[in-house]
């Protein structure tokens, strides 16, 4: 159970972020969630979109360096400690979280956490065992 995330490597200078969003908008790709991390010279834009294959092709066509990554989409309770339940399940299974970001989908009342881990199958099994609901790609892309 996984979701396709698009990572785009962009120069950290004015106009590069909007160039990415223009590229996707021109191909009718909707951005559902994003996370941006930067250094002095470049940034990594991580995107969950409604059409990952179309987005990846469009970005490459427009000369962006982009790649597809498998991530987990898991719901957590919207309360103090809600995220801890999810993280404890991963910790207890010996899974390292490479990065995480969250968003609320349309009409959703619980945060959807996008998680990149070092052991995908172990993580999915641990979350399922802990009773944590995960969403597959089609569920997320159609939010």
* Per-residue pLDDT tens over the stretch 76-125: 988 999 999 999 999 999 999 999 999 886 666 788 999 999 999 999 99
pLDDT in tens, 16-33: 999 999 999 999 999 999
Residue 33 pairs in a beta bridge with 48
pLDDT of 108 reads 65
Could you tell me the two tokens for 46? 């991580």
Angle, vertex CA 99, rays to CA 14 and CA 107, nearest 5 = 85
How is residue 70 written in tokens?
Answer: 């498998």
User: Taking 70 as the threshold, does the pLDDT of residue 129 lie above it?
Assistant: yes
Q: Give the predicted TM-score (pTM) of the model.
A: 0.90
């Amino acid at each position: 159970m996984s979701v396709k995330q698009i990572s785009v490597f962009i120069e950290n200078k004015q106009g590069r972020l909007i160039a990415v969003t223009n590229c996707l908008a021109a191909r009718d790709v909707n951005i559902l969630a994003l996370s941006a991390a930067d250094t002095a010279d470049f940034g990594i834009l991580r995107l969950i979109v409604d059409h990952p294959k179309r987005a990846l092709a469009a970005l490459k066509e427009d000369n962006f360096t982009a790649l597809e990554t498998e991530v987990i989409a898991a719901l957590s309770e919207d309360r103090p400690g809600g995220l801890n339940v999810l993280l404890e399940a991963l910790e207890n299974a010996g899974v390292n979280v490479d990065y995480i970001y969250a968003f609320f989908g349309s009409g959703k009342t619980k945060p959807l956490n996008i998680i990149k881990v070092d052991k995908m199958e172990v993580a999915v099994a641990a979350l399922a065992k802990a009773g944590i609901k995960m969403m597959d790609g089609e569920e997320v892309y159609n939010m």
